[in-house]
Amino acid sequence: MKLAVVGATGLVGQEILKVLEERHVEFDELYLVASAKSVGQKIKFKNKEYVIKSLEETVALVPDIAIFSAGGGTSLEWAPKFAEKGTVVIDNSSAWRMDPTKKLVVPEINGKELTSEDLIIANPNCSTIQMVLALAPLHEKYKIKRVVVSTYQSVTGTGKDAVQQMMEERQGITNGIKVYPHKIDMNALPHIDTFLDNGYTKEEMKMVNETRKILNDQTIGITSTTVRIPTVGGHSEAVNVEFEIDYDLQEVRQILEQTPGVIVQDDVKNNVYPMPILSHGKDEVFVGRLRRDESQPKTLNMWIVSDNLRKGAATNAVQIAEFLMEKSLVS
């Protein structure tokens, strides 16, 4: 088994390496790949030093699996080149997510749809992954009619420079790095990714389109507002779900408690509910504040939190790789 990690020096790339080590993923050879300026540098992984390779060098080595976390442009250019060699690419960017010929995969939900013919597999957006993992079993039971979601997303979703901007602002540095159009520390920006002609951002439309694709249901009504806040632990979401079939709140709780990858934290009498600071470094999706929407029937309110670098990116990608290995879908 030859495994490549493309974008190994970035926040998600570094997290992928942590997840590979923690989950004891077995491989014979590991290729760490990054941009031209990083080629030749060394990264230590499991007490061994690896020299950063170029994409050109790595594609010629024909890895069995390549996990990409290097941006959409790199993925559009290089994923097909790897796939032509027979490498299975698991891509963390938005490049292939809405391509009708590519599968958008959360293993617990639709991993079973993967075949040996899937050479480019899309990893969903971080905020989408955590929401659909909680919604999927409820959709199966009650059929979702409409979702209204507001997100509160960590600066880590933007990358290393965004974390640096926040930390510099926190230290009073006024002429430091500038990733966001406004100050982020002690602020909230209702602006993630670029604005589209319809007034929504790309991030907001990702949640709409990706959720429908993953749940395989284009009839679900979805509207989203995504907000960047000065946290580093993970993304939070206030989700309002209207069902076709009425539900029992206790049954909803039981369904979620039995869902792989979901942990219910919902004991408000003791101030127990999901928070980014508690999700940091964990692979699970945490759900709480379960309650009926008293303004209309068959509608549920829930609060969903997950580490966006873990289940929202690195862990989900590694789980796809594990699934491919387990089902012998790679050589």
Other C-beta atoms lying within 10 Å of the C-beta of residue 122: 26
φ, ψ at 70 (rounded to 5°): -135, 15
pLDDT score at 58: 97
Maximum separation of any 2 CA atoms in the chain, in Å: 60
pLDDT score at 174: 87
Calpha distance 232→157 (Å, rounded): 9
Look up 235 and say whether it is catalytic: yes
**CATH 3.40.50.720 in the chain, residue ranges:** 2-124+313-326
Other C-beta atoms lying within 10 Å of the C-beta of residue 258: 10
Calpha distance 267→262 (Å, rounded): 16
Please give the model's pTM, rounded to 2 decimal places.
Answer: 0.96
How are beta strands 88-91 and 65-68 bridged, if at all? parallel
Class of domain 2-124+313-326 as given by CATH? alpha beta
Calpha distance 296→213 (Å, rounded): 27
pLDDT score at 331: 72
The domain defined by 127-308 carries CATH number 3.30.360.10: yes
Could you say which of 126, 182, 191, 280 is catalytic?
A: 126
Look up 24 and say whether it is catalytic: no
* Predicted confidence pLDDT, tens digits, the chain (331 residues): 999 999 999 999 999 999 999 999 999 999 999 998 999 999 999 999 999 999 999 999 999 999 999 999 999 999 999 999 999 999 999 999 999 999 999 999 999 999 999 999 999 999 999 999 999 999 999 999 999 999 999 999 999 999 999 999 999 998 999 999 999 999 999 999 999 999 999 999 999 999 999 999 999 999 999 999 999 989 999 999 999 999 999 999 999 999 999 999 999 999 999 999 999 999 999 999 999 999 999 999 999 999 999 999 999 999 999 999 999 998 7
Could you say which of 24, 139, 235, 280 is catalytic?
A: 235
| Spatial contact of 67 and 5, defined as CB atoms under 8 Å apart | yes
Of 83, 107, 110, 112, nearest to 95 by C-alpha is: 83
**CATH 3.30.360.10 in the chain, residue ranges:** 127-308
Strands (E), 73-200: 88-91, 103-104, 120-122, 144-153
